[in-house]
Amino acid sequence: MKAHDDVLKVGTNEMELVDFRILKRDGDEVYEGIYGINVSKVREIIRVPKLTELPGVPEFIEGIFDLRGVVIPVVNLAKWMGVDEPEEAVRNARVIITEFNNVLIGFVVHDAKRIRRINWKDIEPASFAGRIGGDALDQSKITGVTRIEDDSVLLILDLESVVQDLGLYQPNSGDVPKDEYDFSGLVLLLDDSSTARKIVKDALEKMGFQVVEASDGQEGLAKLEELYDMYNERLGSHLRLIVSDVEMPLMDGFHFAANVKADKRFSSVPIVFNSSISDHFSEARGKDAGGEAYLVKFDASSFYDEVARVVRDHV
């Protein structure tokens, strides 16, 4: 299920999605919801295995199973989304085994159709969902939306929020010894998640930085232009670092970085990627895009140590 470097190049602003379906019963009618997850987060797709139920857990957690020596929790996405499942959908269900934030988790879906290659510029932020007639799903559970064939709408679910619901991923900015990380200057922070931006911003401010925020690569480039207008050739002495997510609508982190490194005004500013994607291929793509480090969200100690190392190496 992994993308290959001969298929998806750094700086193309493209991603590959596994297109999967969730069926919903509404009275006598059955409707099909179309969803996607980044291929980089998918390990494999299997039939629903025999599961061991767990007492005292939310209803959407179907149970756990052993996959080649690793115990994996399995979440029923339809139940998590509050969808009434038709019986035929349950019989044909599949489990998508994913890895992100260094956590393995399985998601029950009703069908896995195909892999789609989509340009990030064609993916709108979650706030756009209501304007294009997407499913009546809580927008906090969507990270992006895009049109596909037949004027259908594909929704990219925020599966990281499931992991947080399970209590497997509870990021915090941690305590920072002020005498160890006493920096100054600006950091440009890019992330489409307001929650993630707050966590990282708090961590950077604890290190002494002032933070300029952007929600995607396009806005990040606009912020760089504003900073250049403010500081001109002195920008390098004020902007110490760029911290960027990878998966963002309109322009992803790799394409953003390629643009930054191609512009001599900004090319000397170091970039640290901070992403939920924890596969080695994405880490290699980050280096190819000019990143000084690739971090998986969000381990406070490694974040502080790597940010400090990168900034000190570029004094």
Any idea what the CATH number is for the domain that residue 133 is in? Answer: 2.40.50.180
R_g (Cα) of the chain, nearest Å: 20
Q: Is the pLDDT of residue 212 over 60?
A: yes
Q: Is the pLDDT of residue 296 over 80?
A: yes
Lowest mean pLDDT among 10-14, 27-31, 150-154, 224-228: 10-14
- Do residues 32 and 144 both lie within one domain? yes
With respect to residue 75, please indicate whether it lies within any of the assigned structural domains: yes
- Segment 164-176 shows an average pLDDT of 64
| Amino acid identity at 19 | D
Cα–Cα distance for residue pair 8/285, rounded to 1 Å: 10
- Do residues 22 and 153 both lie within one domain? yes
With respect to residue 191, please indicate whether it lies within any of the assigned structural domains: yes
Strands 153-157 and 70-76: unpaired
The residue among 158 and 266 whose pLDDT is bigger is 266
Q: Is the pLDDT of residue 134 over 60?
A: no
With respect to residue 275, please indicate whether it lies within any of the assigned structural domains: yes
Domain count, the chain: 2
Query: What's residue 272's pLDDT?
Result: 97
Which of these three, 166, 194, 217, is where a domain ends?
166
- Do residues 292 and 211 both lie within one domain? yes
The residue among 306 and 196 whose pLDDT is bigger is 306
With respect to residue 176, please indicate whether it lies within any of the assigned structural domains: no
- Segment 75-80 shows an average pLDDT of 92
- In this prediction, residue 127 has a pLDDT band, given cuts at 50, 70 and 90, of low
Query: What's residue 179's pLDDT?
Result: 61
- Do residues 248 and 124 both lie within one domain? no
With respect to residue 181, please indicate whether it lies within any of the assigned structural domains: no
Query: What's residue 133's pLDDT?
Result: 41
- Segment 231-249 shows an average pLDDT of 95
With respect to residue 260, please indicate whether it lies within any of the assigned structural domains: yes
Query: Residue 273: which domain range?
Result: 186-313
- Do residues 113 and 232 both lie within one domain? no
- In this prediction, residue 139 has a pLDDT band, given cuts at 50, 70 and 90, of low
- Do residues 146 and 213 both lie within one domain? no
Spell out where the chain has E strands. Answer: 14-26, 29-38, 42-47, 61-67, 70-76, 94-100, 103-109, 111-119, 124-125, 142-147, 153-157, 186-190, 210-214, 239-244, 271-275, 293-296
Query: What's residue 315's pLDDT?
Result: 78
With respect to residue 2, please indicate whether it lies within any of the assigned structural domains: no
Helix and strand element counts for the chain (H, E): 9, 16
- Do residues 34 and 154 both lie within one domain? yes
* Strand partners for 99: 104
Lowest mean pLDDT among 99-103, 160-164, 176-180, 296-300: 176-180
- Residues of the chain with pLDDT > 90, as a percent, come to 58
- Do residues 149 and 250 both lie within one domain? no
With respect to residue 123, please indicate whether it lies within any of the assigned structural domains: yes
Q: Note the pLDDT tens digit of each residue in 110-123.
A: 999 999 999 988 98
- Do residues 192 and 279 both lie within one domain? yes
Q: Is the pLDDT of residue 249 over 80?
A: yes
Cα–Cα distance for residue pair 245/158, rounded to 1 Å: 14
Query: What's residue 171's pLDDT?
Result: 61
- Do residues 161 and 280 both lie within one domain? no
Cut 0.85: pTM above it: no
- In this prediction, residue 132 has a pLDDT band, given cuts at 50, 70 and 90, of very low
The residue among 271 and 314 whose pLDDT is bigger is 271
